[in-house]
């Protein structure tokens, strides 16, 4: 199914910085609970991310790209507000998408 350009533009993808990482032992698949700062306009949001190949120290302070305009989704006892984006490598691990230089928090992906 092909998307129109207008449909693509409706997906609001923004850059945020991970400011908190918590264990999520209740998740069915290994996951972290992330707290992500998207800057003054969007504020701080939470996400459940199945990225077990990242250590807590590798996530804290890292820039990520996330969809910020999906409705919140209940993941077990946790409400996930944004969807962090990643790509699967040959081993099935999720590799987080991020800009390769610092950009302002909340910067829109075009």
User: Higher confidence at residue 1 or residue 95?
Assistant: 95
Q: pTM for this one?
A: 0.94
Confidence grade of residue 105 (pLDDT, cut at 50, 70, 90):
very high
Q: Where are the domains of the chain?
A: 15-96
Q: Which two tokens stand for residue 75?
A: 């993941």
> Which fold would CATH assign to domain 15-96?
OB fold (Dihydrolipoamide Acetyltransferase, E2P) (2.40.50)
Helix (H) or strand (E) holding 5: helix 5-10
**SS3 of residue 83 by DSSP:** strand
Rounded average pLDDT over 46-61: 95
Rounded average pLDDT over 24-41: 94
Q: How far is residue 105's CA from residue 28's CA, in Å, rounded to a whole number?
A: 31
pLDDT tens, position by position, 18-32: 999 999 999 888 899
Rounded average pLDDT over 30-52: 96
């Amino acid at each position: 199914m092909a998307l129109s350009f207008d449909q693509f533009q409706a997906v609001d993808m923004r850059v945020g910085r991970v400011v908190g990482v918590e264990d999520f032992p209740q998740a069915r698949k290994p996951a972290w609970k992330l707290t992500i700062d998207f800057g003054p306009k969007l504020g701080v949001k939470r996400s459940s991310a199945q990225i077990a190949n990242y250590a807590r120290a590798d996530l804290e302070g890292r820039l990520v790209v996330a969809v910020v305009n999906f409705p919140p989704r209940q993941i077990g006892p946790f409400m996930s507000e944004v969807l962090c984006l990643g790509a699967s490598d040959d081993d099935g691990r999720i590799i987080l998408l991020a800009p390769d230089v610092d950009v302002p928090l909340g910067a829109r992906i075009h």
